[in-house]
C-alpha cells in the first residue's frame, strides 16, 4: 500500500499528551515527539463554550497533526 504524502495523520494519544504538556509549560519552540522538528501552532481558536479554546498543531516533515484543548492561560 502506498502512502499519500499530502494526507495528514493524527498523532497517537501519548504524543498528543506530550504536545499538550509542552503547551501547558509554555515551551518554545515546540518540537515534534516523533521527529524532533519544530511544530507549527495555530490558535487558540474558540470551539464553543463546552470545548473552550483549541490549538491546532502541525508537523510538516512527518505530516502529523493534533487539536489540543484544555490548555490553561499563562498570565
Query: pLDDT digit string (tens) for 14-55?
Result: 999 999 999 999 889 999 999 999 999 998 888 777 767 899
Q: What is the pTM of this model?
A: 0.80
The total of structural domains in the chain comes to 1
Whether residue 38 lies inside any domain: the answer is yes
Per the domain annotation, does 57 fall within a domain?
yes
47 domain-assigned: yes
With 0-12 / 13-18 / 19 or more C-beta atoms within 10 angstroms meaning exposed / middle / buried, residue 2 is exposed
* Residue 42 maps to a domain: yes
Full domain range(s) for residue 51: 9-69
Residue at grid coordinates 495523520 = 9
Quick check: is 15 in a domain? yes
> What cell does 75 get?
498570565
User: Is the residue at 74 inside a domain?
Assistant: no
Distances in whole angstroms, Cα of residue 70 to Cα of each of 4, 37, 38, 51, 58: 32, 24, 22, 8, 18
* pLDDT reported for residue 43: 83
Amino acid at each position: 500500500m502506498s502512502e499519500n504524502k499530502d494526507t495528514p495523520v493524527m498523532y497517537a494519544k501519548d504524543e498528543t499528551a506530550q504536545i499538550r504538556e509542552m503547551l501547558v509549560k509554555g515551551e518554545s519552540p515546540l518540537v515534534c515527539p516523533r521527529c524532533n522538528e519544530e511544530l507549527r501552532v495555530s490558535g487558540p481558536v474558540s470551539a464553543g463554550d463546552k470545548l473552550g479554546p483549541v490549538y491546532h498543531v502541525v508537523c510538516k516533515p512527518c505530516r502529523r497533526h493534533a487539536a489540543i484543548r484544555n490548555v490553561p492561560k499563562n498570565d
